Amino acid sequence: MQSREHVIDLPRRIYVGTGLIERIGEFVRSLGLRAPYLLVTGPTVRTMVVEAILNRTEGKVEVLETYRGDMEEVEEAESVVRSKGTMTVLGVGGGRSIDIAKYVSFRTNSDFVSVPTAPSHDGVTSPFASLKGLGRVVSVKAKEPSLIVADLRVLSQAPRRLINAGIGDTVGKLIAVRDWKLASKLRGEYYGDYTASLALMSAKHALSCATLIERDKFEGVRSLVEALISSGVAMGLAGSTRPASGSEHLFAHAVDLIYPNHALHGELVALGTIMMAYLHGINWKRLRKILSGAGIPTRARDVGIPDDIVVKALTISHTIRTERYTILGDRGLTWEAAERLATETGVIS
């Protein structure tokens, strides 16, 4: 079934380079983005990054720290925006802070500025947010960034684990695109060839980063950031998260639902990608070898996830987003099939 309306949301301007944090006030002014500002950030974002933004941004700036990435924090941020008359919301940090900022911007019709400090996710660009609420992880329409500031000096200094998570998240597009095409064939869902190709290119780019980053961390991060941005652009072009989120993401969300805060999102996506590659008939052994060679966990125990949690997550993954058809089908996997899949791929022992 074809949609009557296809809406494409893309950023107005993207800056990628070094020394950009110090120029953020200049970039904001060049696009006519107005004060008052709300800066949404996390507790682990380096003070020097936040202070550099505060010192170089003219006008009133409120700062709000996020810890959980749930609807309660969205409502808290929205209350600040409405009470202070905020015109522009800056998401500074990782996925949680950026998701809160972009969703609050959408709900209040404020401008949104994306300032990632770790290349751990592809939400940098996309007009969608993943939030915790109602006992599950929900993906919601959010505000596309008017401005993205990706300072490679800051991003390349992020912990290696966060960088690896970004690779894992982006490699997952290998599965997402195949799930999307499957849904198109079996359910008549809209499928965009160009958009799918862009997402696949991002995934292949991320795989190359897995080897490049061992030789040259800075150039590896530059390449990864470009892949993350293009993945977000693919979602904007598609008007949905379809090019970037399939059964591998459903697995990641399922684990986080039943065993929260034990692994990074991108780490779980990497595990899900290996298993779903097996189901899709992709060369999962080669994929696992590349990821493992970059230091990305390919066994659940490496990120503190018990075997039974992996199996349980596989059996409920198809229920995370019932409107999204994937290789898992409508009924999902039985416990026996899930255990066999995870064992065969080496994700569990």
Q: Could you say which DSSP state residue 143 is in?
A: P
Helix/strand/coil for 2 = coil
Cα–Cα distance for residue pair 149/116, rounded to 1 Å? 7
Whether 302 has a binding-site annotation, put simply, is no
pLDDT band, very low/low/confident/very high, at 134 (cuts 50, 70, 90): low
Cα–Cα distance for residue pair 246/177, rounded to 1 Å? 7
Yes or no: say if 180 and 189 are a contact pair by the CB < 8 Å rule.
yes
| Residue ranges making up the domain that contains 272 | 160-344
Take residue 17 and report the two structure tokens written for it.
């380079």
Whether 305 has a binding-site annotation, put simply, is no
Whether 249 has a binding-site annotation, put simply, is yes
Whether 216 has a binding-site annotation, put simply, is no
Whether 246 has a binding-site annotation, put simply, is no
The predicted structure's pLDDT at residue 275: 98
Yes or no: say if 24 and 57 are a contact pair by the CB < 8 Å rule.
yes
pLDDT > 60? residue 26: yes
- Asked, for residue 7, whether it belongs to a domain, the answer is no
Number of structural domains the chain divides into: 2
Q: Identify which of 157, 161, 127, 134 has the alpha carbon closest to the alpha carbon of residue 7.
A: 127
Whether 308 has a binding-site annotation, put simply, is no
The predicted structure's pLDDT at residue 4: 61
Take residue 275 and report the two structure tokens written for it.
């298993």
- Asked, for residue 3, whether it belongs to a domain, the answer is no
Whether 8 has a binding-site annotation, put simply, is no
Cα–Cα distance for residue pair 248/327, rounded to 1 Å? 10
Cα–Cα distance for residue pair 227/243, rounded to 1 Å? 13
Whether 184 has a binding-site annotation, put simply, is no
Whether 11 has a binding-site annotation, put simply, is no
The predicted structure's pLDDT at residue 136: 60
93 and 219 within one domain: no
Hunting for tokens 């639902």 — which residue is that? 257
pLDDT > 60? residue 135: no
Over the stretch 99-132, which tens digit does the pLDDT of each residue have? 999 999 999 999 999 999 999 988 888 889 888 7
When pLDDT is averaged across residues 208-235 and rounded to a whole number, the result is 91
The predicted structure's pLDDT at residue 1: 44
pLDDT band, very low/low/confident/very high, at 137 (cuts 50, 70, 90): low
Mean of per-residue pLDDT scores for the chain: 92
Q: Could you say which DSSP state residue 37 is in?
A: E
pLDDT > 70? residue 133: no
Q: Is 104 exposed, middle or buried (0-12, 13-18, 19+ CB in 10 A)?
A: buried
170 and 151 within one domain: no
Whether 286 has a binding-site annotation, put simply, is no
When pLDDT is averaged across residues 141-150 and rounded to a whole number, the result is 93
The b/e string for 230-247 (b: 16+ C-beta within 10 A; e otherwise) is bbbbbbbbbbbbbbbbbb
DSSP E strand boundaries for 67-170: 88-93, 111-116, 128-133, 136-141, 147-151
Prediction pTM value: 0.91
Using a pLDDT cut of 70, give the percent of the chain over it.
Answer: 97
Residue at a domain's end among 116, 132, 155: 155
Whether 97 has a binding-site annotation, put simply, is yes
CATH number for position 199: 1.20.1090.10
SS3 content of the chain, % helix, strand, coil (to 5): 55, 15, 35
Q: Is 142 exposed, middle or buried (0-12, 13-18, 19+ CB in 10 A)?
A: buried
The predicted structure's pLDDT at residue 123: 86
Helix/strand/coil for 88 = strand
Cα–Cα distance for residue pair 345/285, rounded to 1 Å? 8
Fill in the amino acid letter for 278. Y
338 and 232 within one domain: yes
Whether 95 has a binding-site annotation, put simply, is yes
pLDDT > 60? residue 2: no
198 and 339 within one domain: yes
pLDDT > 70? residue 38: yes
- Asked, for residue 140, whether it belongs to a domain, the answer is yes
147 and 177 within one domain: no
Cα–Cα distance for residue pair 180/190, rounded to 1 Å? 9
Residue at a domain's end among 120, 155, 190: 155
Whether 169 has a binding-site annotation, put simply, is yes
Whether 247 has a binding-site annotation, put simply, is no
234 and 333 within one domain: yes
Over the stretch 160-207, which tens digit does the pLDDT of each residue have? 999 999 999 999 999 999 999 999 999 999 999 999 999 999 999 999
